[in-house]
Amino acid sequence: MASKRSSGGRFFSSIKSSLSNIAKIPISKSVNSIDEIEVISPDGDRVDATVEATKGKWIPDERESLWKLAKKYIGGDIISLNYTPISYMEPATNVSRMAELMEYSHLLDQADICEDPYMRMVYASSWALSVYFALSRPTKPFNPIVGETFEMVNHDGITYIGEQVSHHPPIDAAHAENEHFIHDITSNLRTKLLGNSLDIYPSTRTRITLKRDGVVLDANPPHIRANNLIFGRLWVSLSGELTLTNMTTGDYVVFKFQPPGWFGGSRGQVDGYVYNAAKEPKILMTGKWTKSLSYQPCDKEGKPLAETELKEVWKVADLPEKDKFQFTYFTHKLNSLDTAPRKMLASDSRLRSDRCALEKGDLSKVSREKSSIEARQRNEQKRREANADKFLPKWFDLSDEVKATPWGDVRAYKYNGKYDEHRAAIDTSTDKDVDIQPTEFNPWQYSDTKIESRK
């Protein structure tokens, strides 16, 4: 439920009254205009609208400080800002978080072995939708260091490598492969701070190749919004469309995300169809991206066929109870060494000292370690500029392919195959030292880069 700039302003007056009387925030000092605040209840309950802004993790003094800070950046892209309250953060980075796309990778396995071309799209599009449950956590991962990596093994036979390939703009690339599929992604997220909410524009290039028939799929993600950053309970919503196109046959899927209603009935609701190349609906799909998805054959009008019924194709796996970071079991597995290969790269996100400190709850150490890592990155950048050096990723090469998205073009990075060679050399080695995991985070281009002391 969104607070809107309606005539009379009685709705906003009620919010202002609640903020002043219950939270005791000096609104006149912290907000230029009450209309600047958009508070959206995740429950869709109109009765609770007037007090929604007082809920959430922030105490009144923190809300006041955060609002003063946020006002400076309204309308801007804040993804690269160094300052983020620790309470907003989770012990992961954008590079490691991208690996969460593989949690329900079995759906891609099913798509590969499926002989029915439309059911193939049901499985593949269900995977494309499934990734948003984990990626919608309302917490911010650490910004990766250029050259930072993440590796994954021991999950559905997948070999996975991700790398931060650019710092300005921040771009991540990843490659995943098993016996059924190849997944390649280049992600260049853009953001726009709206005050109490943040719009996220996922300018990405995603390609899936199903190995049995060589089918190539292309995905276009929806718009994402983080609601109630400061006032109210923080939550994430999706809007617009998610599309998945079979570039080999012309078949495609369109999911439409329904906006949350007053009473929450449509929160998370998504509906879509599998279409053939002639734009005729073949299978309807419906559910909630926060819970499950089902499908049913349909006629050319999009109506369910007689004597058919909805069948569930995907649902959210069991979740840890009262998890501090709202992680799934799979996310915890990624953060551990259970999914790390032998002798993982020293540039792996798991080794970041600030991430480890946050995971252990050592909050005083988080900021100190984060500042130290970022200072070293700045010094490396200065040195590259002084030497006219250009950072070059190890595992991906910049290609000539440019993907057009609703939020701008993104130039694709192509996996260069060198990681396979690197991993094969380690996996076939009999050297006992190969089993020893590195302990110090080291994505650095210059090993002798010094960090300026902070006074």
- Per-residue pLDDT tens digits for 76-112: 887 766 567 787 899 999 999 999 999 999 999 999 9
Average pLDDT for residues 384-410, to the nearest whole number? Answer: 93
Confidence of residue 165 (pLDDT cuts 50, 70, 90): very high
Report pLDDT for 23.
37
Which pair of structure tokens corresponds to residue 10? Answer: 């009685």
Residue 15 has pLDDT above 70, yes or no: no
Residue 24 has pLDDT above 50, yes or no: no
Identify which of 235, 201, 231 has the alpha carbon closest to the alpha carbon of residue 39.
231
Confidence of residue 55 (pLDDT cuts 50, 70, 90): confident
Report pLDDT for 45.
59
Q: Which amino acid is at 54?
A: T
Report pLDDT for 85.
76
Residue 374 has pLDDT above 70, yes or no: yes
Report pLDDT for 64.
80
HEC per residue, the chain = CECCCCCCCHHHHHHHHHHHHHHCCCHHHHCCCHHHCCCECCCCCHHHHHHHCCCCCCCHHHHHHHHHHHHCCCCCCCCCCCCCCHHHEEEEEHHHHHHHHHCCCHHHHHHHHCCCHHHHHHHHHHHHHHHHHHHCCCCEEECCCCCCEEEECCCCCCEEEEEEEECCCCEEEEEEECCCEEEEEEEEEEEEECCCCEEEEEEEEEEEEECCCCEEEEEECCEEEEECCCCCCCEEEEEEEEEEEECCCCCEEEEEECCCCCCCCCCCEEEEEEECCCCCEEEEEEEECCCEEEEEEECCCCCECCCCCCEEEEECCCCCCCCCCCCCHHHHHHHCHHHCCCCCCCCEHHHCHHHHHHHHCCHHHHHHHHHHHHHHHHHHHHHHHHHCCCCCCCCEEEEEEEEEECCEEEEEEEECCHHHHHHHHHHCCCCHHHHCCCCCCCCCCCCCCCCCCCC
β partners of residue 219: 206, 244
Residue 370 has pLDDT above 90, yes or no: yes
β partners of residue 193: 198
Report pLDDT for 321.
93
What whole-number distance in Å separates Cα of residue 452 and Cα of residue 455?
10
Residues ≥6 apart with Cβ < 8 Å to 362: none
Report pLDDT for 444.
95
pLDDT digits (tens, 9 = 90+) for 167-178: 988 999 999 999
From the number of C-beta atoms within 10 Å of its C-beta (0-12, 13-18, 19+), residue 244 rates as buried
Report pLDDT for 52.
80
Q: Which of 4-13, 40-49, 408-417 has the highest mean pLDDT?
A: 408-417
- Percent of the chain having pLDDT more than 70? 87
Average pLDDT for residues 346-372, to the nearest whole number? Answer: 95
Report pLDDT for 406.
86
- The region, left, alpha or beta by phi > 0 then psi within -120 to 50, assigned to residue 284 is beta
| Average per-residue pLDDT for the chain | 86
Confidence of residue 42 (pLDDT cuts 50, 70, 90): confident
The answer to which of 20-24, 129-133, 412-416 has the lowest mean pLDDT is 20-24
> By the 8 A CB rule, do 151 and 158 touch?
no
pTM value? 0.88
Report pLDDT for 391.
94
Average pLDDT for residues 298-315, to the nearest whole number? Answer: 97
> By the 8 A CB rule, do 127 and 390 touch?
no
From the number of C-beta atoms within 10 Å of its C-beta (0-12, 13-18, 19+), residue 341 rates as buried
Pair type for strands 198-210 and 223-227: antiparallel
Confidence of residue 266 (pLDDT cuts 50, 70, 90): low
Residue 414 has pLDDT above 70, yes or no: yes
Residue 13 has pLDDT above 50, yes or no: no
